[in-house]
Amino acid sequence: MKYELIGHGAEAKLYLIETNEKKDNYIFRFNKDLLKKLDIDYKEFEINYKENKIILKYRYKKKYRNEIIDNRLRKYRTRIEIKILEKLYNKVNVPELIYNDEDFGIIIMSYIDGYKLSEYIEKLDYNNILYNIGKSIGIMHKNNIVHGDLTTANMIYKDNNIYFIDFGLSFFSKRIEDFAVDIHLFKEIFKSNHWKIYGSFNKFIEGYKESFNDRYKDIIDRLKKVEARGRYKSILF
């Protein structure tokens, strides 16, 4: 099997794993040698999947943290991410969960073979894309899920669809404040990274309203207050 480290954040490593071994499905054999190369202290295991590429996310141990606290944090954050992927699957476009072990901080999911939206959105039908992003985020919020790291870099464009990835900072919430902050952070990052098309951001709001109309007014009112707080801070500092 081939493997490639495609992401290394503060909490986790992300590997792209590829195999050519196949019977009815593709076979991924995680033997001791491979796990050692991936720097994962785990038992040998095997996965059968319909595609020949998968993503392995591993929340590695933090040696500077107390071991008991570190294990609890890794387990808790992995569990939340697993639950969120399970809840969103078939509601919005997210990777399919294939295998997980929250005790060891391991999540294996499908590989979305597309392009980072951040690199292509300005060349695409961005009005329609923003509208559909808004609809999807509205569905997440309606299901009490806050993404926590909404950027076009965490969205994959494939076959005219947008797939959402990286739920490492996501959490469950019913608070209007959390929904408003989620939108605010996306809006600010979008404005910074895609200023040429920022004038179309209202399409996101239109899509959001369509899928989460029952709390739309309260959330947008809170969003205005969140934005006002940001402007006030910039004046002071």
**Catalytic positions, written as ranges:** 149
Q: Pairing state of beta strands 53-58 and 13-18?
A: antiparallel
Strand partners, 55: 16, 109
Amino acid at 105: G
Spatial distance between the Cα atoms of 174 and 91, rounded to a whole number of angstroms: 18
Amino acid at 228: A
Q: What is the dihedral of CA 208, 214, 219, 221, to 10 degrees?
A: 110
Spatial distance between the Cα atoms of 53 and 26, rounded to a whole number of angstroms: 9
Helix (H) or strand (E) run with residue 28 in it: strand 26-30
Give the helix ranges, DSSP H, for the chain: 32-37, 67-88, 117-120, 126-142, 176-193, 202-211, 213-236
Spatial distance between the Cα atoms of 116 and 66, rounded to a whole number of angstroms: 36
